[in-house]
Amino acid sequence: MKTTTILTAAAIAFLSSMPVAAEHQYVEFSKAGHMVIAGPFNAVIPIPGDARVGEPEHTTEKFLSETLNVSKAGYFADDQFVMVQVETTNAPAGTLTNENLPTYKIGDRDFRARTLCIDISQEELDADDAPLLEYVEAYDVQIVPAVRAVQLSVTTDDGTGEGNIVYMRNVPGGCDAMTPEFEAEFDAAFGRFIESIQDRN
Averaged over successive runs of 10 residues, the pLDDT of the chain (201 residues) comes to 36 34 82 91 91 93 85 95 92 59 84 92 85 84 94 87 93 96 96 86 68
Domain region containing 111: 10-200
Tell me whether residue 3 is in a domain.
no
Whole-Å CA distances, 52 to 38, 78, 113, 141: 21, 9, 25, 10
Q: What is the pLDDT of residue 55?
A: 92
pLDDT at 97 (0 to 100): 52
Report whether 169 contacts 189 (CB < 8 A).
yes
Residue 14: inside a domain: yes
179, part of any domain: yes
How many domains are there within the chain? 1
Q: How far is CA 4 from the centre of its chain?
A: 11
Q: Is residue 2 part of a domain?
A: no
Examine residue 63 and state whether it is found in any structural domain, yes or no.
Answer: yes
1 within domain boundaries: no
Residue 94 lies in a domain: yes
Whether the link from the prior residue into 48 is cis, omega within 30° of 0, is no
Does residue 183 sit within a domain?
yes
pLDDT of residue 200: 73
